[in-house]
Amino acid sequence: MPEAPAPDPIATRSGRAFWAFGWYLRWYFYRKFHAVRMSHAGRPHGFADRPLIIYGNHPSWWDPALYILLCTVLFPGRRGYGPMDAKALGNYGVFERMGVFGIALDTPRGAARFLSTSLRILSDSASILWITAEGEFADVRRRPLQLRPGIAHLARRVPGAVILPLAVEYSFWNESRPEALVRFGDPIESGRQRTVAGWTGHLEAELTRTMDGLAAEAVRRDPRQFQTLLRGGGGVGGIYDLYRRSRALAAGRRFDPRHESRE
C-alpha cells in the first residue's frame, strides 16, 4: 500500500487554533515559569514586509511551545510555521494545526520535503519559519555548534528573506521556578552570496555568538538586562507560603511570594 501523503501545513494550519493555543500557552508558561524574558540586546523589528526565518538552538522539549508563544507575542500579524521530526510530531498532533509539519530526519525524502515546503511557506512575506536548526536536543554549552545543512540550502534559495539567530536558555535564578530566556542576534540577508558550506559556517558562527551573549546575561541574573514578555507565578507554595503569608498578614504587610524582589 502506498504511503499516505503528508499533510500540507499551509492548508492544515488554523489561524484561530494558533491564536487560541497562544493564549493557552500564556497560562501554561505562567504556571511553569517565573518569567519569559527577551534580552534588550536583540529586539526584532522592521521586517513586516519580508519573509522571516528564525533559527535557534534546541535545548529542551519546551522549544516548540516557546516558539509559538513568541510568535503570538512578538509577531501577532504573522503566520508561523516550523518543521519537526515526523516521529515526534506523531505524539503531538495538535501542533499540525499550529503550522508544524513533519519531516523524516536524515533521509533524502525528508530533506526534499523540508526544502520544498519551506520555500512555499516563505513565498508569502507574512510568514515566519521557526527552525530548531541543531535538529536534536543539545546542551546550551555544547561547542562547536553543528547545524543541519537544510537551513544553509534554504538561506541560498529564498530571495529577500531576513534570517534571525535565536538563542534560548531555561535557567534557574533565585526563585523556585525557572526563567525562559531568549536573545535574538543580528539580522542576516539571505541570498547566493555564499556557498552552502559558507552559509553553514556563517549561520553557526552567528548563532554561537548570540548564545554566548545570552549565556553571559544569564550568569549575571539581572532582570534589567531583559524585557519581561510574560511574568509567571512566584513563591514556593504549600505550607511554606501559607506560613509566610500569615506572618505578613500579622505584621500588616503586603505578601509578596517571590524569594526576592528586584523588579
| pLDDT computed for residue 52 by the predictor | 95
The phi and psi torsions of 3 (rounded to 5 degrees) equal -70, 135
| CATH 3.40.1130.10 domain position(s) in the chain | 9-232
CA 188 to chain centre: 18
- Name the pTM for this structure: 0.86
* Residue given cell 556563517 in the structure block: 202
69 contacts 36 by C-beta, under 8 angstroms: yes
Cα angle 41, 199, 213 (rounded to 5 degrees) comes to 20
Q: What is the pLDDT along the chain (263 residues), one digit of tens a residue?
A: 445 567 788 898 999 999 999 999 999 999 999 999 999 998 888 787 899 999 999 999 999 999 999 999 999 989 999 998 888 888 877 888 889 988 887 788 888 899 999 999 999 999 999 999 988 899 999 999 999 889 999 999 998 899 999 999 999 999 889 999 999 999 999 999 899 999 999 999 999 999 999 999 999 999 999 999 999 876 554 554 454 455 546 666 664 555 465 55
Q: 108: exposed, middle or buried (C-beta count within 10 Å: 0-12, 13-18, 19+)? A: exposed
Alpha-carbon span 239 to 210, nearest angstrom = 41
| pLDDT computed for residue 234 by the predictor | 64
The correct answer on CATH 3.20.20.150 for the domain covering 9-232 is no
